[in-house]
Amino acid sequence: MSEGGSESAPDPREAAERAVRGSGLAALASGDQPAGPAVLAAIGGARGIVESILPGLLFLVVYAVTKDVVWSVLAPAAIALVLLAIRLVRRETVTSAIGGIVLVAISAAIALFSGRAENNFLPGFAINTVGLLAMVVSLLVRRPLIGVVAGLLLGYRNWRRRRARRRTAVWATIAWIGLFGLRLAVEVPLWAVAVSATDPTVVEPATSALATARLVLGVPLYAFVLWITWLLMRGPWASRPAASTPGGTPAEPPADGPAAPVEPAADDSRPPRDVS
């Protein structure tokens, strides 16, 4: 509360740090051996995997059986609503479920209005394109996005001053560029074949192949790249819980290069100044 009773404006960086630390990604920063359990937690646990895979799997099965656009896109929407209802009944967090329903609803609307089942995947193309561009731009401006996220997660505000952290953040960001790029490189040509054809013997196999590719390149590939990211960054980005600042933020290890001479502190109770 600031002087005069007015509440100070929230710090956007602190809000971003709280959001990242409150996500499943925080599990990857909880220790040196996250392995399976922590990666599983980072992708939403078993429930998150089911909620991510089930709508797409249902689309594939219904389309393979009926070849009907309406049933193929309405079935995933229905199961997404059921999953949301389960969370509401159990009084669990519904943020991710609502996001999934919005995406399924937009996808279904595009497919229904166009009358083409393959257009159900257009929103996914948009999301992967945005992700790819964000990663590439972050490298061009020398702010690798994975490093930004890791800095928010671990509270390292001057991580770019360390060569090892910058280098691993660049390679991890390149790995995510590979994820988004691979999805687009495989799925867009299949969509193009389906949308440009009029013969059902071409459209239907291409659409089924597209749905299969979306499943394979979805959660499994995401979990694999997440694991690769941890392998790349676990050394240079290892947190040190024993040394922390008065505010609870993990203390930064000394920057690369020769150590600066130690000077007597004038006031030990004052938090260290952020030089970033």
Lowest mean pLDDT among 141-150, 213-222, 234-243, 256-265: 256-265
pLDDT given at position 259:
40
Report the range of poorest mean pLDDT among 30-44, 48-62, 192-206. Answer: 30-44
pLDDT surpasses 90 at 263 = no
- Please, what's the largest Cα pairwise distance for the chain? 80
The two structure tokens encoding residue 60: 């594939």
Residue 53 neighbours by CB under 8 Å, 6+ apart:
215, 218, 219
The SS3 assignment for 245 reads coil
Q: What is the DSSP secondary structure assignment for residue 144, as one 8-state letter?
A: -
Q: In the structure, what pLDDT confidence band is assigned to residue 273 with cuts at 50, 70 and 90? A: very low
Check residue 43 and give its pLDDT: 62
Residue in 163, 127, 130, 150 with CA at minimum distance from that of residue 229: 150
Work out the mean pLDDT of the chain and round it to a whole number.
Answer: 79
Is the pLDDT at 13 greater than 80? The verdict is no
Closest by CA position to 165, among listed 150, 180, 153: 150
Per cent of the chain over pLDDT 90 is: 43
Q: Taking the domains of the chain in order of start, what are their residue ranges?
A: 42-233
Residue 15 banded pLDDT, cuts 50, 70, 90: low
Do residues 82 and 107 lie in contact, with contact meaning Cβ atoms separated by under 8 Å?
no
Kindly report, residue by residue over 95-108, the tens digit of the pLDDT: 777 888 899 999 99
What ranges in 4-121 are assigned the alpha helix state H?
A: 12-21, 35-42, 45-66, 69-89, 95-114
> In terms of Cα–Cα distance, which of 141, 121, 138, 123 is closest to 176?
138
**What is the C-alpha separation between 114 and 27, in angstroms, rounded?**
41
Angle between helices 45-66 and 69-89 (to 10 degrees): 160
Q: What angle do CA 132, 59, 56 make, to 5 degrees?
A: 40
CA angle 149, 98, 209 (to 5 degrees): 85
Residue that wins the pLDDT comparison between 52 and 183? 183
CA 162 – CA 195 distance, rounded (Å): 49
Model confidence pLDDT, tens digit, residues 46-75: 777 788 888 999 999 999 999 899 999 999
Residues 182, 170 contacting (CB under 8 angstroms): no
b/e map 198-207, b = 16+ CB within 10 Å: eeeeebbebb
Neighbours of 176 (CB within 10 A): 23
pLDDT tens digits, residue range 108-140? Answer: 999 999 999 999 999 999 999 999 999 999 999
pLDDT at 126: 96
Residues 6+ apart with CB under 8 A from 235: 164, 168
Percent of the chain at pLDDT > 70 equals 70
pLDDT at 244 over 50: no
Least Cα distance to 17 among 107, 130, 150, 133 occurs for 150
Say if pTM beats, i.e. exceeds, 0.85: no
How far does CA 247 lie from the centroid of its chain?
Answer: 28
